[in-house]
A and B are shown apart, each in its own frame.
Chain A
Amino acid sequence: MREMFLKDKLIANGISFKERYGINIPDSSGNIETEYNSVRNAAGLTDFSFVQKYSIPEQEGLDFLNNIFAGNVENLRFGRVLHTFLADENGDIVSDCYIANNDEEFLILCESVTDDSTLDKILFEKNNGADYGLKNITDDYVMLSIDGCNAWKAAKAIFGVNILGLPYLSIEEFEFDDTKVNVIRAGKTGEFGYYVLAEKRIAEKLFDTASEKVKQIDGTVCGLEVHNTLRLDGRFFNIFSEGIAVKNPLYLGLQWMIDLENMNFIGSEIIKNQRDEGVDKKIIGIVIENNAGEVVPGEKIFDENNEIGSIISAKHSYVLDKTVALALLPFDLAYSGLNYFLGAANGPQIQTISMPPFSPKSLNMKID
C-alpha cells in the first residue's frame, strides 16, 4: 500500500487515514463540519499526494495523450490545463485527469478508481507509454491543495502577489525555499483552489508554512472525506462517488471533458455509439429534508408507484442544512423542481433541484 510522505505531519494535525484503491489516504480530523466550514468561509489545506502523477515530453507526448485521454491536448497552450478523463475499453471512466502544458512537457495528474499498478499497466504496458517518454513521477512529488474563499490569501502569503494573476486552469512556476514548485489554479469545491506540486525535499517545510498561513486566516488542515461533500454541493464531478457508481461518462454529463469532434481515445467507440443512439438517463441533484432520516446510495426513487431510479451519492450540506444528493433518473424525468418519493411510493418526498444549489463565496470575492 502506498503511504503519504507527509503522514506524520498530518497525524500531528489530527488527521486519520484509511485505504482507498491501494493508497493510505488522509481521511478526516473527525470533525467534518469544521473542515467544511473552513473551506467555505476561509481556507483548508489538504494533502492531495494520492493523485497519480506523470510527465511526458511535449512533442512525443501529443499523439500518445490524444489516443488515450478523452480531451484534445493538441490545442492546449503553454501554461494551460485541460480537465479530461481516462476510460477503459468499455467506455467506463477510470480516471479523472488534469493535463497541464508545462513548458516542454505535459504533466498528467490522475484521480483514479484503480490502484497505482493498474493505472501504470494501462499507460505503460497496454499503450507503450515509455516509448513516448512517459514517466511516473508520483513518488517524486507531493501535492498540496489549498481550497477556500480565502485560499488566495494563503497562496499570496506563501508565493507572493503574482499568484493572484494566475487564471483558472493554469499552471505556473513559483519559488519556495529557493526551489521551483508548480502551482495549478484548479480545485473542485466551487471556491478558490490551488494545487501545489513540490519536490519531497521541501515538502515538510512547505506543509508547515502552508498550514501556518491557512490557520492564520481561520482555516484548518483537512482530510479527503470533506471533499466528497464539497464536491457534491459544489456540483463538481467526483470519481470516487458518482464516478465509480455510474461509470458511464454520458450519464454523468461529462461530455464537456470529451473532444467530440475527434473521438479516438480508449473506449471512444462505445461512447460515440451511445451518443449517436441518444442518452436515456442522467444524474440530477436532489434535496432531502432532514426529517427523512439518513439517505444512503442505492436507495430507490419512486414516482407514484413506479421505481424510476436510485440515489447515487448523498451528504449533509452544511450551507443548506439539508441532505444534498445525486440521483440517476430517466432522461425525461430528470428536470429540476419535480417531486418524487424516497424508498417507497409512500416514502418521504424529495425534490429535484438545480445545481450548484448555492453561490459559493468565491464567485463574488474581490481579491487584492
Chain B
Amino acid sequence: MNVEREEKIKTRKEILQKLKEEMIKRLDLPYKPEDIHEDISILGAGMGLDSLDAIEIVMIVESCFNVRIEDGNTAPLRSLNTITDYIIAQKGVEK
C-alpha cells in the first residue's frame, strides 16, 4: 500500500474512531464503534438522532477537533463520513 493512501486511511480512521467513541459516550448509544457504519444517516433515518443530538454532535466536533460547524450549516451532518470530510477540509489535514 502506498504511503499517501496509508496516511489518508490513518487520518480518517483516527477521526472516525474519536467521533464514534464520543457520540456513544455523550449520546448514550447502545453500540460499539465498529457497529456504526460511517455512511449511515445521523439524523432521522438511520441512527434516528434528533436536532438536540445534532447540537451535541456539533459540540463534539468543536471540542475534540477544534473545528466549528456554523449555525444552519446542516450539510456536514449527513453522516459520520461527511462530518469527517468537513473536519479534514477545515483542518487542512489532507493534502
Q: Please, how many angstroms separate the alpha-carbon atoms of A355 and B81 in the complex?
A: 7
What interface size band does chain B fall in?
Answer: 20 to 34
Q: Please, how many angstroms separate the alpha-carbon atoms of A278 and B44 in the complex?
A: 27
Q: Please, how many angstroms separate the alpha-carbon atoms of A255 and B39 in the complex?
A: 12
Please name the 9 residue pairs, one residue from A and one from B, whose CB atoms are nearest each other, closest first: A253-B37, A354-B81, A355-B39, A255-B35, A168-B44, A359-B75, A354-B82, A336-B81, A335-B12
**Of residues 70 to 87 in B, which have CB atoms within 8 Å of A's CB atoms?**
74-75, 78-79, 81-82, 84-85
Contact B39 A188 (CB under 8 A): no
Q: Which of B12, B37, B45 contacts A255 (CB 8 A)?
A: B37
Contact B78 A359 (CB under 8 A): yes
Q: Please, how many angstroms separate the alpha-carbon atoms of A336 and B37 in the complex?
A: 12
Residue of B nearest to A261 (CB): B30
Is A160 located at the chain interface by the 8 A CB criterion?
no
**A-B CB contact pairs (8 Å), 12 listed:** A83-B45, A168-B44, A168-B45, A169-B44, A188-B45, A235-B40, A235-B41, A253-B37, A278-B34, A338-B8, A339-B5, A356-B79
Name the residue in B30, B40, B45, B94 with the highest tally of chain A Cβ atoms < 10 Å from its Cβ: B45
- B52 → chain A, closest Cβ, in Å? 13
| Residues of chain B with a CB closer than 8 A to A364's CB | 74
**Of residues 63 to 102 in A, which have CB atoms within 8 Å of B's CB atoms?**
83
Q: Please, how many angstroms separate the alpha-carbon atoms of A169 and B5 in the complex?
A: 40
| Residues of chain A with a CB closer than 8 A to B78's CB | 356, 359, 363
Contact B75 A235 (CB under 8 A): no
Q: Please, how many angstroms separate the alpha-carbon atoms of A227 and B74 in the complex?
A: 24
Contact B39 A253 (CB under 8 A): yes
Question: Count of A residues near B, CB < 8 Å?
Answer: 30
Interface membership of chain B positions 23-50, coded 1 if the CB is closer than 8 angstroms to chain A and 0 otherwise: 0000000110011111111001111100
Is B13 located at the chain interface by the 8 A CB criterion?
yes
- B83 → chain A, closest Cβ, in Å? 9
Contact B48 A338 (CB under 8 A): no
Q: Which of A188, A260, A354 contacts B79 (CB 8 A)?
A: A354
**Of residues 243 to 257 in A, which have CB atoms within 8 Å of B's CB atoms?**
253, 255-256
- A85 → chain B, closest Cβ, in Å? 14
Is B9 located at the chain interface by the 8 A CB criterion?
yes
Residue of B nearest to A331 (CB): B34
Contact A363 B30 (CB under 8 A): no
Report if A354-B85 is in contact (Cβ < 8 Å); known contacts: A256-B46, A363-B74: yes
| Residues of chain B with a CB closer than 8 A to A354's CB | 38-39, 79, 81-82, 84-85
| Residues of chain A with a CB closer than 8 A to B9's CB | 332, 335, 338
Which stretch of A116-124, A279-287, A315-323 is in the interface? A279-287
Q: Which of A235, A284, A337 contacts B8 (CB 8 A)?
A: A337
